[in-house]
Amino acid sequence: MSKAFKLSFLVCLLFLTACSIKQTVEPITVQTDKTICIVEDPDVKEGFLQTYQQVLRERGYFFKVVHQGDSLQNCAITSTYTGLWRWDLALYLAYARIEVLQDGRRIGLAEYDSLSAGVNMGKFVRGETKIRELVEKLFPPLHTLQTTANPEPSTINKAELVVGGYSAERNLVADDQRVFDQVLQSAAAVEYTPLKVSTQVVAGTNYKFYTKAKTITPEQKTSYVYIYVFKPLGEDKPILTKIEPVELKQ
């Protein structure tokens, strides 16, 4: 191999490296049935936040938008984002970053960086398309995450392990519906309709709701899930413990 060829090869390699586009995604791996507080960044184009919210709705997450400077004391899970657009014959998304924190500890990160792309034509991406891709990779569908992640000790129902099975499924009565509504009243763009329920009474009441779940989107996808709720003895507020998919009943 001639010296001239080697030199040309190195120059090309350095050129390609300098014009690289980088993307890193660390998907969240913990249960997130709690509301995600998204800290709005007024310096970022409004479309970024709109797309972020839309994808979270489609994937079944609970969230609310808070302003910079607001108290986050009641936010167990928070998310920040930033985005930069550049002009080079056309407007394109040059940088995007979404970070998810739980109690101050990072549990998820998605970052896209084409600031050094130079003449790399791959940098010309639509902002909405890239943001959607990042959010989808960062947030698995909620029911998938909840059934594959290791449950935290606080979410394990020890009474169920000791006593065993639930009662036979039955139609809901007013008290059952009230419990269901308390835990799922802010279910973003997913419409949950409980069809049947079975219960177990030990140091409170365990509820297992057989539920129809329909996304409030143009596609209106329908699935069926079991929603588990625990209502401690002597307390009014029930606790959502998990959601798991089930096969469609005939």
Q: Choose among 136, 160, 163: nearest CA to 51.
A: 136
Tokens representing residue 158 in the block:
């020890």
Kindly report, residue by residue over 192-216, the tens digit of the pLDDT: 888 889 988 767 788 999 988 887 6
Kindly report the number of other CB atoms within 10 A of residue 116's CB atom: 14
Tell me, yes or no, if the pTM score tops 0.75: no
Separation between Cα atoms, residue 234 and residue 5, nearest integer Å: 80
Average confidence (pLDDT) over 50-63:
85
pLDDT higher than threshold 90 for residue 1: no
Give the residue range(s) of CATH 3.90.950 domains in the chain.
9-141
Give the residue range(s) of CATH 3.10.450 domains in the chain.
151-245
Residue ranges with strand state E in the chain: 22-26, 36-40, 63-67, 77-87, 91-102, 105-113, 190-201, 204-215, 222-232, 239-245
| Terminal-residue alpha carbon distance, the chain | 70
Q: CATH 2.60.40: does it fit domain 151-245?
A: no
Kindly report, residue by residue over 63-85, the tens digit of the pLDDT: 889 988 888 888 889 999 999 98
CATH number, span 9-141: 3.90.950
